[in-house]
Each structure stands twice: as structure tokens, then as C-alpha cells.
Amino acid sequence: MGVESSRRRRPGPEADERLPGGGCVTGRRRRSGRNMAAAAPPQRRRRRRAGAREGVGGRGQWGAGRPRVRRGGGGGRSGSGRGEAGGAMLCCRLAALGARRRLRPLGPAAVLQCHHLRYPSRSLMSSGVPGKAGSNLLFYLIVGGTVTGAGAYVYKTLRENKERFTSRVTTITARSQENASSPSGGKLSNMLPAAPEAHPEVPSHVPFLLIGGGTAAFAAARSIRARDPGARVLIVSEDPALPYMRPPLSKELWFSDDPNVTETLRFKQWNGKERSIYFQPPSFYVPARDLPFVENGGVAVLCGKKVVHMDVRGNMVKLSDGTQISYDKCLIATGGSPRNLPAIERAGKDVQQRLTLFRKVEDFKSLEKISRQVKSITVIGGGFLGSELACALGRRARTRGLEVIQLFPENGNMGKVLPEYLSNWTTEKVRREGVNVMPNAVVKSVSVSGNRLMIKLKDGRKVETDHIVAAVGLEPNVELAKSAGLEVDSDFGGFRVNAELQARSNIWVAGDAACFYDIKLGRRRVEHHDHAVVSGRLAGENMTGAAKPYWHQSMFWSDLGPDVGYEAIGLVDSTLPTVGVFAKATAKDTPKSATEQSGTGIRSESETEAEASEVPTSPSASPMPHVPKQGEDYGKGVVFYLRDKVVVGIVLWNIFNRMPIARKIIKDGEEHADLNEVAKLFNIHED
Amino acid sequence: MSYCRQEGKDKIIFVTKEDHETPSSAELVADDPDDPYEEQGLILPNGDINWNCPCLGGMASGPCGEQFKSAFSCFHYSTEEIKGSDCVDQFRAMQECMQKYPDLYPQEDENEEKEKSSKDLEDTPVEASFAKEEKGSS
């Protein structure tokens, strides 16, 4: 122990270097601990360095008064390999080169004590080189040989890398050319029935232009029309479908009993009320060519058209077919595209054909069809979309004998959102839905073998499956930033906008693509449905002169089967410290009973308009209440996420209709000493 | 009785009903009703109608939005004894417009919508009777 403590007292190799002569030795020597006695005489005082070259110890050759190339290991010093950083070596080298000239005339004594006079060498040869000139030559030869070898190796590696890169680039370009050349297939003709022609005439100027045809754009259109009487709003959407809501695509639509659900896209809420995923039927919209002329204005949608260039100075955009549209005020609500795994991108076309990147209506339609045809589907991704899809498919697994596997790198489902204990609990529930959950799984490569896919994981496990659904995140669509000269955020991605969602004087951004400043929680980018509605509505208000900042916190929700349902608001990040307050669950605390009691069947109806709600599965045996023990049952409760002791996020675990109080707590931004007291405000024991 | 556990950075508290029976000592900041940033309900603090209220759905923004707005504004500001009885023209215009878009404004729900909206505006029973009058006149 004494050795250790003395070692710790040593500040480091550099400090020792600075001491003249005899000082260089001290601490290092003690580190080895074993040779203290042997090192006592001055001749033997030398510093132990990384590597083994201490051999001088007992040989006394040092006394010759000449710097020797000390080679070889062993000797008095044990090269225990615990060595210090290579920095010591370097300093010694430099000092040696300098000191050698200085100290040579001083004679043996000085030479003795400064071990770093010893000529640094990389040699592995034993000691005892005859002459200085010979040793020089040898030294040069060895150094030269090593450098040449290293150079050859580096050159070889770089060349290999370049070859691999060029081959990958060619495969990717070849693939993209194929995709481009293959007909995108009369999607334009399948457009909204209201448009009689494949290419509707496009107005050359609109007062309000919304780029993107999703939730945020629709909410903005509604907001603009509500506040500006007679407003004329044009939505330009790359998607061939009219604006629709996405949450049912991974939840309610899968639980529908209707065999034609892929055509009707209608889902039944738990109270029996049916609605379509489309926000409005086609008759709501005005044909684009009539937009400038219709009496009271309206909303027109251009489907299947992409905005490729934006001229901010000229207030004008250019579409993919060359059409130009000028605007007074513009909203960018381009959303995002699903990310792909590099391992899958590298794989061949055969793998790509068996892959679904889930985001749009057509992805739902194709996956629904595939789920009836194949025997095994693997979902990669353990977040909201991945877990919901896995549960939805798992339900089918039970009735149709489909194998559902879920892979993700985290330790449990929703690992980045929920604290570990809840994530583990959720994972168990997902397993009970019939999903084979494989956490801690990182995909290394995917290949086709036979007619099946073979997924190889980094830890060696192999998964054989028929189809892959990738739910590994969303890449915001910011291609317009270049031509428009808009800023893209480097931390969160997306267009950077201020607290009022404004990027430039006539340009606003909302939805998944907006990285905005939240006055309460800081800069963030949110990819949830309610946020798209809230931000879209706010952008619409600001486009009509309101100048309001982002203030109303949006919420989000998720249901994973009949037992796990939660609503959340704010920054819900599992890396933050959390405080969870739970009560025992009874049979009444499930999403299903919440909707039955409130009689609306619509979660968060007060938050936004009628939204998709959870449709729980057929009533299976609900968990009976029991006293929490080792493996506790986190039936219902509330989890607070803290940042600097302020509550910045709240998860309402299996308790519902309490979002306003949660919103209030986050809005206050107060430091609460006892969060149990705050939890009392939620009445978690009641329904 | 409640008990508490710490798992790393996460604290878990289990509470019984009795533990939560005492009123909370957590303090909440009082709300300012005139806060311009807050989302408003159907009626703004200055008495105007908030056409952007989510509760109205798409009524104010659809093809018949203008007719709806004029009918409702008339109703809202009406000072007649039977509130809105001077707004029959506007309501008729709104109804005619809505009949042109049956899938947007389903006929059987149309009157329910009007009833519901009028109930949102005021709570007196007069509106219910007025709405029934409306149904009769259509």
C-alpha cells in the first residue's frame, strides 16, 4: 500500500522530467515496487518506462561515461507493463537529444544519473552493440524499415477503403437509377376523386402556401381559415393521399375487425364511433385551379407534387414538374422520412424488397398484406413506432400463427423514454402480447438465404425471418434549406426557427421538421402527433398576424396492448433523474376502462379535436391487484422527470384525463421539495 | 403505508390511498386569465368568439365557414328576448350551404352540431328551444 500511495503522490512524468539530474528517478522507481532495494545505488536509479528496456540494473555498464543504447527488457526492473504514458518516452527522447550534447563533457556522474540520456530505441535486440557508428546504422535501418512497413500498410488500407467505397457508391447509384426509371405508377390518377384531370391547373400565386400535406399543414390550414375570412390556402404534398393522421396506422387500424380496412381506412373508436384517418373528406377541399376564384376562399391540395426549390427573396417556389408558385406567406411542414439501418442499406436488392420503412398509408397497406402472407416478421426498433407495430402484429400472431420478433439495442422497450424499471415492465407486457422481444441486439448484417432473411447481430446471434420492418427513427426533410438559405439545426436536425416558429419574415416551419425554441423547456424538436397539431395551429395563427410563441405544451400517448397505456408531456427522456409515485392497480385501470367511463372513446379530446384513440384488445384477464413485492406491479401512477430539480416532463402511467394538471406543473416550472405532494394533485388512486 | 426505493437515479415511491388523502401542500402558480399566450376557450376574454377553438372542429374553416361564422356571431351578440331569433336568415343560409356538402356535414348530425355549438356558447335552456325551432324551420 505504501507503494501505491507514493505513486499517487507523483504528479506525472513531466514533473519528474523537470527535476535536474537525480530528480528524474524517484517516483517511477517506486511504482514498480519490486525493485526498490535493487535500485538504491545511484547507478541503478533510473526511471521505469513503458515497455521493457530497463535492463541496465545490475550491469554497471552505465559507468562507461558514454550513452549507451540500452536495449532489451528484464534486468533489474520488471517490465510489469503497467508503464506510464508514451509521453514519458517522448520527453525522454527529446531531453536525451538535448541533454546528450550538454552533458557529455560533464562526465560519467551526470550521465549516470540521467537515465534519459540512454538512447531511446525501439529495438528488440539484446544489449551490447559494439560501436557507435554501427549502432547508428542499425538504428536507421530499423527505423527506416518500420516506417516503410507502416507506410505500405497504410497505403494498402486506404486503397482497400477506396475500393469498398466506390463499389458501394456504384451499387447505390445503380439502385437509385432503377428506382427512378421504374414507373412510379399512376399515383396521380389515383388522386382525390374531386380532381378530374391528372394534372390540375396550378394557380401561379397564392396568399398562403403550405409545403407538405400532413398533420401540421392541415392544422395550419384550418387555423388560417378560421382567423382570416376568405383565406385562400394551397397545400402542396408529395404524398398522393389527402392529409390524414398517422397514429391509427400503427394502432387502431390493426385492431379493426373490418376486412376492408385497408381500403376504407376507417377505424372504430371504443365508444363505437367510427371515423376515417383522413381529416376531412375530399369535398372539403377546393380544386386547385378554382382556388383564386372561389368566393369565400378555401383550402386546395396538390397531391403528388414536390417542392424542389425555394426562392426566398422572390417569395417563390418551384415544383418538381417545373411549375412556379409565388406566395405571400409560406409554411414548411415537410415532416421527415424514415431512417434506414446502414447494415440494411448495404445489403442487396433482395433484402430491400423484404423491407418496410413504415410511415405512410401505403406502408400500412403493404404491411397489412404481407402480415397475412409471411410466417415471420421482425421489427427493428424499440421506440414508439416499433413497439406499437410489434404489439399490433403480435395480436395477429396469436390468431394467424405469425411469428413476431422485435430487435433493438436498448435494454427494454421505450428504453430512451421510460426509466429502466418501467421499461423492463413494458418489455414484459410486450412479450405477453406475443412478441419475441430481443433487447441488446445490434444488427450487423442482413442477407438472403434460401427464401428467407438472415439477420446477423453483433453479438453473434442470428435471426431468421421473412420480412423486416424498420422503425429506427425519422430524418427531417430539410432539402429545401439549401435553396432557401434556411438554417438547419446541428443538434436536433430540422429547420431552426424561433419561439414563434418563424424562420424568416414570411416563412414558418411546423411539425416534425421544426427545431423550435420552447420558452419553458429550451430548444427542441418533437415528433409527435399532438405537437404537429399544436405547432401547425400556432404557425397558422402567426401567419395571420398573431405573433404568439410556443406556449401550449403538446402531449403524446402510447398504448401497448390492454395493460399498458400512458400519456406524457414535456421532456420525457430516460437519462433524466425521475421520481415515480405509484399506486396499486385494480382491474379498472386500463385504457379500455378509461374510455368506457369517460364515454367519449377519445383520448385527449379536450386537447385537440377528435383524435385517434386507443382501442384495446378483447378483454383478456386483467392483472389482479396484489401487494407490490419484489417484481412490483406498476399498475398506475405518475412519473416526474427532473432537470435541475424542476419538473420538465411527466408521464401519466395508466391514469387518464389528468393532462391539464400535468401541463400546469410544467408551465409553472417551480422547484418542488416533495414530489409526493405534487403527485397528490393527480389523485392516482381514483379513476 | 408508503415506501420508497432508489434505483440509480430513479426514485420509486409506492403510496396507499390513505397516504394521499391529506390535501397536497404543493403550490401552484396562479393563472392569469388574460394571458395572451394561453390557449383560449371558445369565448375570448374580450367577449369575442375564438374561431380557432378546437371545439368547433372544422366548422369555421370549411366551405361553409363564412356562413357559419356570420350565423354564430349574430347569435352570440343577439340581445333579443329569444336569443338569436333575429338571425334566422343567417342560419338558413348556413343550412343551405351545408346541404351542398352532405359528406362534410352529415344531415342527421347537422342539427346535433348546431345544438352542441349553441350549448357551448351559453348554458341557458333558451338555446335548446331555439335550436329546436331551427330544426323545425329547415
Q: Do B13 and A581 touch (CB under 8 A)?
A: yes
Q: With 70 as the cut, is the pLDDT of residue A609 above it?
A: no
Cell numbers for A17, please give them. 522530467
A360 vs B85 pLDDT, higher one: A360
Q: Do B61 and A299 touch (CB under 8 A)?
A: yes
Instruction: Looking at mean pLDDT, say which of A21-35, A179-193, A446-460, A575-589 comes out highest.
Output: A446-460
Task: Give bridge partners of residue A302 from the DSSP assignment.
Answer: A236
For the entire predicted model, the pTM comes to 0.71
From chain B, pick out residues whose CB is under 8 angstroms from the CB of A541.
52
pLDDT digits (tens, 9 = 90+) for A205-255: 999 999 999 999 999 999 999 999 889 999 999 999 999 999 999 988 988
pLDDT digits (tens, 9 = 90+) for B23-44: 888 888 888 877 777 777 888 8
Task: Give bridge partners of residue A329 from the DSSP assignment.
Answer: A208
What residue of B is the nearest CA neighbor of A500?
B37
Q: CA A522, A524, A528 angle in degrees (round to 5)? A: 130
Would you say A529 and A535 are in contact if contact means Cβ atoms under 8 Å apart?
A: no
Would you say A80 and A50 are in contact if contact means Cβ atoms under 8 Å apart?
A: no
Task: Give bridge partners of residue A376 from the DSSP assignment.
Answer: A403
Nearest C-alpha of chain B: how many angstroms from A229? Answer: 7
A148 vs A44 pLDDT, higher one: A148
Q: Would you state the pLDDT for residue A506?
A: 94
Q: Which of B9, B28, B65 lies nearest to residue A668, judging by beta carbons?
A: B28
Q: Which of A272, A273, A252, A269 is nearest to A261 (CA)?
A: A252
Q: Is B7 on the interface with A (CB under 8 A)?
A: yes
Q: Would you state the pLDDT for residue B138?
A: 37
Band of the pLDDT at A75, cuts 50, 70, 90? Answer: very low
Q: With 60 as the cut, is the pLDDT of residue A38 above it?
A: no
Q: Going by C-beta distance under 8 Å and a sequence separation of 6 or more, which residues neighbour residue A452?
A: A376, A464, A465, A466
Cell numbers for A644, please give them. 435541475
Would you say A406 and A387 are in contact if contact means Cβ atoms under 8 Å apart?
A: yes
Q: Which of B10, B60, B63 lies nearest to residue A577, judging by beta carbons?
A: B10
φ and ψ of A435, to 5 deg: -100, 140
Q: With 80 as the cut, is the pLDDT of residue A4 above it?
A: no
Determine the residue type at A501. L
Burial zone of B19 (CB within 10 Å; 0-12 exposed, 13-18 middle, 19+ buried): middle
Q: Going by C-beta distance under 8 Å and a sequence separation of 6 or more, which residues neighbour residue B71?
A: B87, B90, B91, B93, B94
Average pLDDT over residues A182-196: 46
Task: Give bridge partners of residue A300 from the DSSP assignment.
Answer: A234
Nearest C-alpha of chain A: how many angstroms from B125? Answer: 23
Average pLDDT over residues A190-204: 59
Q: Would you state the pLDDT for residue B77?
A: 87
Number of A–B residue contacts, CB under 8 Å: 139
Q: Do A677 and B25 touch (CB under 8 A)?
A: yes
Maximum distance among all Cα pairs of chain A, rounded to whole angstroms: 107
A200 vs A144 pLDDT, higher one: A144
Q: With 80 as the cut, is the pLDDT of residue A204 above it?
A: yes
φ and ψ of A569, to 5 deg: -150, 145
Q: Do B12 and A674 touch (CB under 8 A)?
A: no
Q: Would you state the pLDDT for residue A88?
A: 53
pLDDT digits (tens, 9 = 90+) for A552-606: 999 999 987 767 789 999 999 999 999 999 986 555 556 665 555 544 433 443 3
Nearest C-alpha of chain A: how many angstroms from B33? Answer: 14
Q: Do A420 and B51 touch (CB under 8 A)?
A: no
Nearest C-alpha of chain B: how many angstroms from A578? Answer: 5
Average pLDDT across chain A, whole number: 79
Q: With 70 as the cut, is the pLDDT of residue A445 above it?
A: yes
Coil/strand/helix, residue A462: strand
State the residue for C-alpha cell 433523474: A577
Band of the pLDDT at A618, cuts 50, 70, 90? Answer: very low
What residue of B is the nearest CA neighbor of A641?
B10
Coil/strand/helix, residue A423: helix
Q: Which of A438, A401, A246, A265 is nearest to A335 (CA)?
A: A246
φ and ψ of A363, to 5 deg: -65, -40
pLDDT digits (tens, 9 = 90+) for A368-383: 999 999 999 999 999 9
Q: Do B7 and A578 touch (CB under 8 A)?
A: no
Distance CA A438, CA A409 (A): 9
φ and ψ of A606, to 5 deg: -70, -20
Q: Is A114 on the interface with B (CB under 8 A)?
A: no
Cell numbers for A474, please give them. 425519422
Q: With 90 as the cut, is the pLDDT of residue A119 above it?
A: no
pLDDT digits (tens, 9 = 90+) for B74-106: 988 888 888 878 889 989 999 998 888 888 887
- Quote the crossing angle between the two packed helices A384-400 and A361-373, to the nearest 10°: 30
Q: Which of B14, B17, B24 lies nearest to residue A677, judging by beta carbons?
A: B24
Instruction: Identify the sign of the CA torsion A430, A432, A438, A443.
Output: negative
φ and ψ of A380, to 5 deg: -105, 120
Average pLDDT over residues A322-335: 96
Q: Going by C-beta distance under 8 Å and a sequence separation of 6 or more, which residues neighbour residue A560?
A: A387, A388, A391, A413, A426, A429, A430, A433
Band of the pLDDT at A90, cuts 50, 70, 90? Answer: low
Distance CA A352, CA A345 (A): 8
Query: Which of the residue ranges A89-93, A134-138, A152-156, A556-560 would you say has the lowest mean pLDDT?
Result: A89-93
Nearest C-alpha of chain B: how many angstroms from A609? Answer: 5
Band of the pLDDT at A406, cuts 50, 70, 90? Answer: very high
CB proximity under 8 Å: B 94-113 to A: 101, 103-104
Instruction: Identify the sign of the CA torsion A382, A383, A389, A390.
Output: positive
A392 vs A587 pLDDT, higher one: A392
Q: Do B52 and A578 touch (CB under 8 A)?
A: no
From chain A, pick out residues whose CB is under 8 angstroms from the CB of B24.
677-678, 680-681
CB proximity under 8 Å: A 218-247 to B: 221-227, 229-230
Task: Compute the CA torsion angle A55, A61, A63, A68 (nearest 10 deg).
Answer: -80
- Quote the crossing angle between the two packed helices B65-77 and B107-121, to the nearest 10°: 40
Element containing residue B11 per DSSP (H, E)? strand B10-14
Q: Would you state the pLDDT for residue A101?
A: 56
Most A CBs within 10 Å: which of B2, B3, B10, B103, as the mutation test of the A interface? B10
**Overall residue count recorded for chain B in this entry:** 138
Would you say A280 and A244 are in contact if contact means Cβ atoms under 8 Å apart?
A: no
Q: With 70 as the cut, is the pLDDT of residue A626 above it?
A: no
Q: With 80 as the cut, is the pLDDT of residue A193 above it?
A: no
Q: Do B14 and A632 touch (CB under 8 A)?
A: yes
Coil/strand/helix, residue A266: strand
From chain B, pick out residues whose CB is under 8 angstroms from the CB of A672.
26
Element containing residue A567 per DSSP (H, E)? strand A564-570
Q: Going by C-beta distance under 8 Å and a sequence separation of 6 or more, which residues neighbour residue A111?
A: A62, A65, A66, A67, A103, A104, A117
Q: With 70 as the cut, is the pLDDT of residue A633 above it?
A: yes
Q: Would you state the pLDDT for residue A176?
A: 73
Q: Which of A225, A421, A582 lies nearest to residue B61, judging by beta carbons?
A: A225
Q: Do B54 and A609 touch (CB under 8 A)?
A: yes
What residue of A is the nearest CA neighbor of B59?
A226
Q: Which of B11, B26, B39 lies nearest to residue A677, judging by beta carbons?
A: B26
Burial zone of A502 (CB within 10 Å; 0-12 exposed, 13-18 middle, 19+ buried): middle
Distance CA A296, CA A309 (A): 30
Q: Tell me the ipTM for this assembly.
A: 0.76
Nearest C-alpha of chain A: how many angstroms from B23? Answer: 7
Q: With 90 as the cut, is the pLDDT of residue A116 above it?
A: no
Q: Do A551 and B37 touch (CB under 8 A)?
A: yes
Average pLDDT over residues A186-210: 65
Q: Going by C-beta distance under 8 Å and a sequence separation of 6 or more, which residues neighbour residue A358?
A: A249, A250, A338, A364, A367, A385, A389, A469, A470, A471
User: How many of the other CB atoms lie within 10 Å of CB of A452?
Assistant: 15
3-class DSSP string for A632-681: CCCCEEEEEEEECCEEEEEEEECCCCCHHHHHHHHHHCCECCCHHHHHHC
Cell numbers for A16, please give them. 519528474
Q: Would you state the pLDDT for residue A448?
A: 92
From chain A, pick out residues whose CB is under 8 angstroms from the CB of B15.
581-583, 676, 679, 684
Share of chain B above pLDDT 90, in %: 6
Nearest C-alpha of chain B: how many angstroms from A278? Answer: 12
Q: Do A678 and B26 touch (CB under 8 A)?
A: yes
Burial zone of A234 (CB within 10 Å; 0-12 exposed, 13-18 middle, 19+ buried): buried
Distance CA A330, CA A638 (A): 40
Q: Do A284 and B62 touch (CB under 8 A)?
A: yes
pLDDT digits (tens, 9 = 90+) for A452-488: 999 999 999 999 999 999 999 999 999 999 999 999 9
pLDDT digits (tens, 9 = 90+) for A495-522: 999 999 999 999 999 999 999 999 999 9
Q: Is A539 on the interface with B (CB under 8 A)?
A: no
H helical segments located in A256-383: 261-264, 342-346, 349-353, 361-373
Nearest C-alpha of chain A: how many angstroms from B75? Answer: 18
Cell numbers for A560, please give them. 401497448
**Overall residue count recorded for chain A in this entry:** 687
